[in-house]
Chains A and B, each alone.
Chain A
Amino acid sequence: MIAEIGHFALILAFLLALVQGILPMIGAARGEPALMATARPAAIVQFVLVAIAFLALGHAFVVSDFSVELVARHSHTLKPLLYKVTGVWANHEGSMVLWVLILTLFGAMIAGLGDNLPATLRARVLAVHGLVAAGFFAFILFTSNPFLRLAPAPVEGQGLNPLLQDPGLAFHPPFLYLGYVGFSISFSFAVAALIEGRVDPAWARWVRPWTLLAWCALTVGIALGSWWAYYELGWGGWWFWDPVENASFMPWLAGTALLHSAIVVEKRDALKGWTVLLAILTFGLALLGTFLVRSGVLTSVHAFATDPGRGVFILFLLVLIVGGALALYAIRAPGLRGGGLFAPISREGALVLNNLLLTTAAAVVLLGTLYPLILDALGGGKVSVGPPFFEATFVPVMVPLLVACTIGATLAWKRGDLSGVLSRLGIAAAVAVAATIAVAWSAGGGDLLAAFGLGLAAWLFVGALAELAARIGIFRLAPGAVLRRAAGLPRSAWGMTVAHAGLGIVVAGVTASSAWQTERILSMQPGDAAELAGYRLVFRGVAETAGPNYRAVTGRFELERGGRALAVLRPEKRSYPAEKSETTEAAIHTTWLADIYAVLGERASSGAWTARLYHNPLVPWIWIGAVVMAAGGAVSLTDRRLRVGAPRPARAGKAGEAGARRWRRGGAAPAGGGGGGAAGAGA
């Protein structure tokens, strides 16, 4: 019965989303407050309904109600409870329910927190949000309904893909979806602004924190996904330029651009049209990623759905949402009032450069991802666009971006002083050059690119700290004054420093692990030893072990260095009888400066085992750096200005008059406002 309640709740949510998409839109166009007022309860109740549906589905998984077809196909009574719960979204239908859960959660948050938005803007934002949600509800109900039932119910389920039975992956989709779906808010705001025909100052204040939230979640989601690929797939790498990875990386690049351009809108009232376009493109890329992954166009662990009907539906949705928004943009964008011109050497100039480079990078990834598909569709045969393409095209775009990142963050708004900035960054430049030379020298002059990469990492990291040091006056002021300044610095400035420093850490990890990875593939008899980058691994044979729902062959490798035992590595080969498949579990010993990574391969007839051993220098830094970046975003999110979004209005009811009174009082009182006005008139 609980599953049926969930099903009905989902249907009601669909209808409510339609109401929310239509009535407030008409109300905003005709100036009818009653119609606009339906948006808020519709958004909130819709979230409650989806939450009911989600909990009902979760209940079916936890108690193993195999009369629900989805549970029978993807669960098993012997599965550990954690994976019964995460099994809800480890399949196509359930993950779409999670998707709309997050979507409606954000809708409810706009409705609940949107008091300070102009009424028509709020109504239109919620209406656009409702239409997007309605599209997804229709997709779920008509092509991927999770609540379809089986009669008679099977006694046992078919289990979950063992690759997905892993804590790293269990929490990767929710974060990824928070990111993807978070960009839907920026999208709704962008389309609403286009319909309104103007970009309010409140607009930028709203878009930025939501973009930031989505960006943080997406960063964590991608990092979790790459970490999972690193230790679970057992290939020793952490990023494969797989189309599925690219699908999440493209919205990240575009979202990073959006994050930076939204700052310009807020601070300088400029770049509005571009920011609106970016908001549309970012969500469009998120949808494209969903389409690529879900349509079965790409085959991978993520391709839960290989039903062409679903692919066509998502493609239709994609064309409707993104195409519609872009058409609207073409009609309305010329009418958006732009800001003034600005100097190339200024913070906003640097942010424009940042946007150009990031969107170029996103376009490069998009090209590399779609080219094989398009070629195949046109009958041009199968080609594979792999890491060599991306390394040759993506890296040259990123290098100037990283170089400019530190400089741009130090420039002042409006009119920057490049020579002053460079003198401030002298220390960072010196450290970067020193690091480059030191690395090149110690590597015997061989790997100049890697040396340059580490120099770049040092530039980003030290540059971020140097910029902070200059702002709070370390080396210039008394310690007390420094502390006061540090405390007074806006959180968003702290967030920027932390995020840029985190980027430096990521760059170091990426460079070192790709340049200096050591790989050894050996056939080992028990008792054999292997040398690996100064370490020694002794193979002590294998043992059979049993887990809750699998059996495993566990190898035992003793890791030592200089005759001193460090750790025992136990890589596993697991076989899951219910799912009839096998997985490899890599064993990893990390020193934080490097990982020793062991994978147990096949057994040869001679009794020897194939072992793949890797030494990955600095690889943990990639994920540490990503988490630091996300933490920077989170710090920035706690900034008072971002958190509030916009000042609270006087209480509703007599709002109009109260607001007018405040304005009259405000217009006369603050000297700053008057002076500013006068100066503005003079300028």
Chain B
Amino acid sequence: MMLFAVLAGLALAVVLCVLLPLLRRQAPPRPRAEHDVEIYRDQLAEIERDRDRGLVTGDQLEAARAEIGRRLLAADAARREPAARRDAPPTRAILAAVLAGVLPLAAGGLYLWQGAPLLSGGPASESAAASEPRPAEREADMATLVARLAERMEERPDDIRGWRLLGRSLASLGRYDEAARAYGRATALLPADADLRSLRAAALTAANAGTVTPEAEQGFAAALRIDPGEPRAGFYLGLAALQKGDRDGALARWRALEAASPEDAEWLPMLRRRIASLAPGPTREDVEAARQMAPEERAAMIRGMVESLALRLEEEPDDAEGWARLARSYRVLGEAEKERDALRQAGEAAHRTGDNAAARRHWSRLRGLLPEGSPERAGIARRIDALGEGR
């Protein structure tokens, strides 16, 4: 409705702009010779200005004046042209009425022929959002779609793309066992596909809550034999090594993967965090080297180690002793804020793992660092008291 009001307003404005001059009394136009005379007079004045500025002199000046003067005389003679005729009002009124009817009708007709007044429109984001179902609905829809797809796959068991799609859909619903089976069907059809093998092994791993089973490990190894650059297999084999306690093996695999990955690969940030969490602490050689360094180099080295420790703790937040070590490092670096934070984390970690004695130790240290009477200090004191009750 709003649209039609706007369109009608536009049409009305257009009709008015044509009708008003038609209906108003118009003064007769000036005779055209007067325009000519004015221009010639202006040209003469121009010549005089040029003369004053010294741009024209002598013959040139006279010739220019003569020429314009001649035109001026001719224009003066032409001034006695008949004046424009007055028009008769009745014809104008009829014309105005016709226009007032025809213009909106023609515009409306053309518009109804070409336009689409009832179609809604709007920004892509809005219309997309409007047509997109809510998450819960989407999951339900997804489940029915997957069920339908699974049925169809029984009829067409040779469709590799179908199996792959089914596997991906099942995995996104968290049904990893079934996903691994779907990928397995696809692998049976296309044994030389590293991607499929690695997807199946990853689904197996996910089905086992992140533990790389021997079967999954075999799958990854097979994928790597087909395509040595397959990133997923490289990552999971590293994880498998770590789960078996082989830190160096894991680190070697991940470093190799890091080196082979393009700079903007989406898995790189995650991979780097993992590598940082594994990086060994300072060895005796490191310490020895640090002793011989210049102070600012030493600070840089310590900072580097502290950072990798902090990254590792983000991955393994339950390592209370690690947090305590981090707090000591920050103390050395003079970062009091971070030191307190690390101590708080150390206490939390110890508390989570049930080591209340350690938690009391860390938090007591923290309390010592907080100023008297501050709300944080009171909060930590309450936590320590609560530990005492639990004992």
Q: Mark B114-155, 1 if CB is under 8 A from A, else 0.
A: 111101111111011001000000000000000000000000
Which among A8, A44, A148, A157 has the greatest number of chain B C-beta atoms within 10 A? A8
A454 to B135, CA, bound (A): 72
In the complex, whether A585 has a CB less than 8 A from a CB of chain B is no
Considering only residues 87-125 of chain B, those with a C-beta below 8 Å from chain A are: 87, 92, 95, 99, 103, 106-107, 110-111, 114-117, 119-125
- Within the complex, which residue of B3, B36, B70, B262 is in contact with A201, where a contact is CB–CB below 8 Å? B36
Task: List 12 other contacts, CB 8 Å, given A8-B107, A52-B10.
Answer: A11-B114, A15-B103, A33-B26, A68-B121, A155-B127, A202-B35, A269-B67, A488-B55, A647-B41, A676-B67, A676-B69, A680-B69
A268 to B66, CA, bound (A): 12
Which chain A residues lie closer than 8 Å to B67 at the CB level? 268-269, 676, 680
Closest to B60 in A: A412
Interface pairs (6), CB distance under 8 Å: A5-B6, A12-B14, A37-B24, A65-B121, A646-B35, A646-B42
In the complex, whether A631 has a CB less than 8 A from a CB of chain B is no
Shortest CB distance A336–B (Å): 15
- Stretch from B44-52, B231-239, B344-352, B366-374 forming part of the interface with A: B44-52
Closest to B124 in A: A64
Closest to A123 in B: B29
Which chain B residues lie closer than 8 Å to A200 at the CB level? 32, 35-36
Closest to A142 in B: B114
The 5 closest A-B pairs by CB, nearest first: A676-B69, A119-B29, A676-B65, A680-B70, A488-B53
A388 to B21, CA, bound (A): 59
CB-based contact B99/A63 at 8 Å:
no
Q: Given A19-B99, A33-B87, are A63 and B123 also a contact pair (CB < 8 Å)?
A: yes
CB-based contact A37/B32 at 8 Å:
no
A118 to B46, CA, bound (A): 21
Considering only residues 113-129 of chain A, those with a C-beta below 8 Å from chain B are: 116-121
A666 to B37, CA, bound (A): 10
CB-based contact B116/A676 at 8 Å:
no
Considering only residues 12-47 of chain A, those with a C-beta below 8 Å from chain B are: 12, 14-16, 19, 23, 30-38, 40-42, 44-45
In the complex, whether A561 has a CB less than 8 A from a CB of chain B is no
CB-based contact A67/B71 at 8 Å:
no
- Within the complex, which residue of A67, A121, A153, A679 is in contact with B69, where a contact is CB–CB below 8 Å? A679
CB-based contact B70/A653 at 8 Å:
no
CB-based contact A202/B28 at 8 Å:
no
Q: Given A34-B26, A45-B14, A488-B54, are A649 and B121 also a contact pair (CB < 8 Å)?
A: no
A155 to B127, CA, bound (A): 8
In the complex, whether A489 has a CB less than 8 A from a CB of chain B is yes
In the complex, whether A678 has a CB less than 8 A from a CB of chain B is yes
- Within the complex, which residue of A66, A116, A205 is in contact with B127, where a contact is CB–CB below 8 Å? A66
Which chain A residues lie closer than 8 Å to B115 at the CB level? 4, 7-8, 147
Closest to A489 in B: B55
Which chain A residues lie closer than 8 Å to B73 at the CB level? 677, 680-681
CB-based contact B31/A4 at 8 Å:
no
Shortest CB distance A269–B (Å): 6
Q: Given A156-B124, A655-B30, A680-B66, are A149 and B71 also a contact pair (CB < 8 Å)?
A: no
Which chain B residues lie closer than 8 Å to A194 at the CB level? none
A673 to B73, CA, bound (A): 10
- Within the complex, which residue of B10, B24, B47, B103 is in contact with A34, where a contact is CB–CB below 8 Å? B24
In the complex, whether A683 has a CB less than 8 A from a CB of chain B is yes
A241 to B171, CA, bound (A): 59
Closest to A646 in B: B39
Closest to A670 in B: B44
A177 to B132, CA, bound (A): 42
Q: Given A5-B7, A672-B44, A683-B66, are A30 and B85 also a contact pair (CB < 8 Å)?
A: yes
CB-based contact A646/B38 at 8 Å:
yes
A484 to B87, CA, bound (A): 55
In the complex, whether B68 has a CB less than 8 A from a CB of chain A is yes
CB-based contact B71/A269 at 8 Å:
yes
Shortest CB distance B59–A (Å): 9
Which chain A residues lie closer than 8 Å to B103 at the CB level? 12, 15, 19
CB-based contact B124/A120 at 8 Å:
no
Query: Which residues of A approach B to under 8 Å, CB–CB?
Result: 1-5, 7-9, 11-12, 14-16, 19, 23, 30-38, 40-42, 44-45, 49, 52, 60, 63-68, 77, 116-121, 141, 145, 147-149, 151, 153, 155-157, 200-202, 205, 268-269, 412-414, 471, 484-485, 488-490, 543-544, 546, 641, 646-647, 649, 652-653, 655-656, 659-660, 662-663, 666-667, 670, 672-673, 675-683
Which chain A residues lie closer than 8 Å to B128 at the CB level? 155
- Within the complex, which residue of A12, A77, A646, A659 is in contact with B11, where a contact is CB–CB below 8 Å? A12
CB-based contact B70/A683 at 8 Å:
yes
Shortest CB distance A20–B (Å): 9
CB-based contact B121/A3 at 8 Å:
yes
CB-based contact B46/A641 at 8 Å:
yes
In the complex, whether B77 has a CB less than 8 A from a CB of chain A is no
A44 to B21, CA, bound (A): 13
Which chain B residues lie closer than 8 Å to A33 at the CB level? 26-29, 84, 87
- Within the complex, which residue of B68, B84, B122 is in contact with A31, where a contact is CB–CB below 8 Å? B84
Which chain B residues lie closer than 8 Å to A145 at the CB level? 114
Which chain B residues lie closer than 8 Å to A7 at the CB level? 111, 114-115
CB-based contact B37/A663 at 8 Å:
yes
Closest to B88 in A: A32
Shortest CB distance A242–B (Å): 35
Shortest CB distance A352–B (Å): 18
CB-based contact B27/A65 at 8 Å:
no
- Within the complex, which residue of B26, B120, B264 is in contact with A37, where a contact is CB–CB below 8 Å? B26
Which chain B residues lie closer than 8 Å to A544 at the CB level? 262-264
Q: Given A4-B116, A30-B87, are A201 and B18 also a contact pair (CB < 8 Å)?
A: no
Q: Given A33-B27, A65-B123, are A485 and B54 also a contact pair (CB < 8 Å)?
A: yes
CB-based contact A656/B31 at 8 Å:
yes
Which among B6, B21, B24, B71 has the greatest number of chain A C-beta atoms within 10 A? B21
Closest to B103 in A: A15
Shortest CB distance B219–A (Å): 30
A528 to B266, CA, bound (A): 33
Which chain B residues lie closer than 8 Å to A120 at the CB level? 29, 32
Shortest CB distance A440–B (Å): 40
CB-based contact A5/B22 at 8 Å:
no
A667 to B65, CA, bound (A): 14
Which chain A residues lie closer than 8 Å to B246 at the CB level? none
Closest to B42 in A: A647
- Within the complex, which residue of B17, B39, B111 is in contact with A647, where a contact is CB–CB below 8 Å? B39
In the complex, whether B287 has a CB less than 8 A from a CB of chain A is no
Closest to B102 in A: A15
A49 to B110, CA, bound (A): 16
In the complex, whether B62 has a CB less than 8 A from a CB of chain A is yes
Which chain B residues lie closer than 8 Å to A149 at the CB level? 116, 119, 121
A268 to B42, CA, bound (A): 15
Which chain B residues lie closer than 8 Å to A14 at the CB level? 110
Which chain B residues lie closer than 8 Å to A34 at the CB level? 21-24, 26, 87, 92
Shortest CB distance A199–B (Å): 11
CB-based contact A656/B17 at 8 Å:
no
